Amino acid sequence: MFDAELLKKDFPALNQIVNDEPLVYLDNAATTQKPLSVLTRIKNYYENDNANVHRGVHTLAERATADYEAAREKVRDFINARTTKEVLFTRGTTTSLNWVSKFAEQILKPDDEILISIMEHHSNFVPWQQVAAKTGATLKIVGLKEGQLDLQDLQEKLSVKTKIVALTHVSNVLGCINPIRDIAQIVHEMGAYLVVDGAQSTPHMKIDVQELDADFFAFSGHKMMGPTGIGVLYGKEKLLNEMNPVEFGGEMIDFVYEDYSTWTELPWKFEAGTPNIAGAIGLGEAIDYINRLGIDAIEQHEHDLMAYLMPQLKAIEGLKIYGPADLQNRAGVLSFNLAGLHPHDVATALDMEGVAVRAGHHCAQPLIRLLDTSAEATVRASFYAYSTIADCDKLVDALKKTKEFFTI
């Protein structure tokens, strides 16, 4: 087990004073802070190796290409994909899911159905609305039961007409962990494809795409200590071979003639133009950092924090927590509201105490509407490897102070 307090020293942004208080950063579901090793790696790349990949034969180009492809191998290993052909670098989860939605447009017919859930982030919601509008397919939405995915509703809405099921692994609002492995089985029995939004799971728990058996799996580098602007789309090789490229141009071609072109092999068939080389290398370094800590240890640590924090939050009168009551099915994302207070006021008051949380709809408006919050928003505290018991204590204290301040 690692020492989270000690870990903070590796993250320059965590060691600062905000509004005269030491920063307590609890907005990790939005983005995570970066360790020095990642920052240094990116700087070193630009200082020493900066060149375009896959093209040049000069030494810097070879170094940049080797490092970029080494990062892809680190991602492959991290999620246990069969081959690096199945690991596409994208801008992030949003881009990854939009790419899959293009594949859906390629295969869907007007009578087909797409199944998503009400808890989806807009990036796994809006693209499917667009696909439905373009193809004439019907978009169906699975509801909630006791703060988590209603599996019975999913079974009932799944039919031979369903061609795509797109679900989040962990909700960025409710914090619930969806049983993707079991869902993959029933989805595949029905002959549909399973698309998984892994933005909130990949940074926090062991992902084995072969074991999960998702057909596509998306995640973002910036939510796992890596840089912004880099993410991953994993897809089964067979499907990626069937899928048309989404963008066209340099890097992704084999031959270009005046009247037609052919595509290069996977994974480069999808990576048109100069990629985010420094981003990929930074993500590779972030994976090294996570591996040194141990992803299982990170998961356990966050679980322990939640077990410590939940009873204390529940003891605050007027504080309502959303999501499953059961800690077992929960990741380190906690949404709540304080009765009578607007979530934005709560977040602003917490900021005055140095505590950074998020308030709003968290890019999940349909879910927030369903939760029946008075302001169509919640406060969200979200945790990571470097979050500590002291951070939890500070949050609880700051919430109590906020409550007192507004009730006087």
End-to-end Cα distance, the chain: 43
φ, ψ (nearest 5 deg) of residue 381 = -110, 130
94 near ligand PMP, judged by CB under 6 A: yes
- Clarify whether 363 is annotated catalytic: yes
* Nearest-approach distance from CB 194 to ligand PMP, in angstroms: 16
For residues 221 and 231, the answer to whether their CB atoms sit within 8 Å is yes
Query: Shortest Cβ distance from residue 172 to ligand PMP (Å)?
Result: 3
Give the residue with the Cβ less far from ligand PMP, 330 or 394: 330
28 touches ligand PMP (CB under 6 A): no
For position 32 contacting ligand PMP by CB under 6 A, the verdict is no
Look at strands 148-149 and 162-168 and give their pairing. unpaired
Question: How many CB atoms sit inside 10 A of residue 139's CB?
Answer: 17
- Contact mark string toward ligand PMP, 336..365, x via CB under 6 A: ---------------------------x--
If binding means CB under 6 A, how many residues of this protein chain bind ligand PMP? Answer: 15
Contacts with ligand PMP, 181-220, as mask; x by CB under 6 A:
----------------x-xx-------------------x
Q: With contact defined as beta carbons under 8 Å apart, do 245 and 269 qualify?
A: yes
Binding mask 275-294 for ligand PMP (x = CB under 6 A): --------------------
CA distance 80 to 100: 20
DSSP state of 81: -
| Helix H or strand E segment including 133 | helix 126-135
- Least spacing, CB of residue 125 vs ligand PMP, in Å: 9
Helix, strand, coil distribution of the chain in percent, nearest 5:
45, 20, 35
Return the number of the residue (341 or 385) whose C-beta is nearest ligand PMP.
385
Q: Which is nearer to ligand PMP, 132 or 364 (CB)?
A: 364
Interatomic CA distance for residues 230 and 141, integer angstroms? 29
Q: Please identify which of the residues 79, 306, 363, 368 carries the catalytic annotation.
A: 363
Q: Least CB distance from residue 292 to ligand PMP, whole Å?
A: 24
User: Residue 362 CB, nearest distance to ligand PMP (Å)?
Assistant: 7
Q: Which of residues 96-125 bind ligand PMP (CB under 6 A)?
A: 121, 123-124
CB-nearer residue toward ligand PMP: 76 or 121: 121
Site for ligand PMP in 145-174 (CB under 6 A): 168, 172
Instruction: Find how far residue 370's CA is from the centre of its chain.
Output: 22
**Strand bridging mode 113-117 / 138-142:** parallel
Q: Which is nearer to ligand PMP, 7 or 196 (CB)?
A: 196
User: Cα torsion for 180, 361, 283, 263, to the nearest 10°?
Assistant: 70
**Structural contact between residues 358 and 347, judged by C-beta atoms closer than 8 angstroms:** yes
DSSP state of 321: E
Active site residues: 363
Site residues (CB under 6 A) for ligand PMP?
29-30, 92-94, 121, 123-124, 168, 172, 197, 199-200, 220, 363
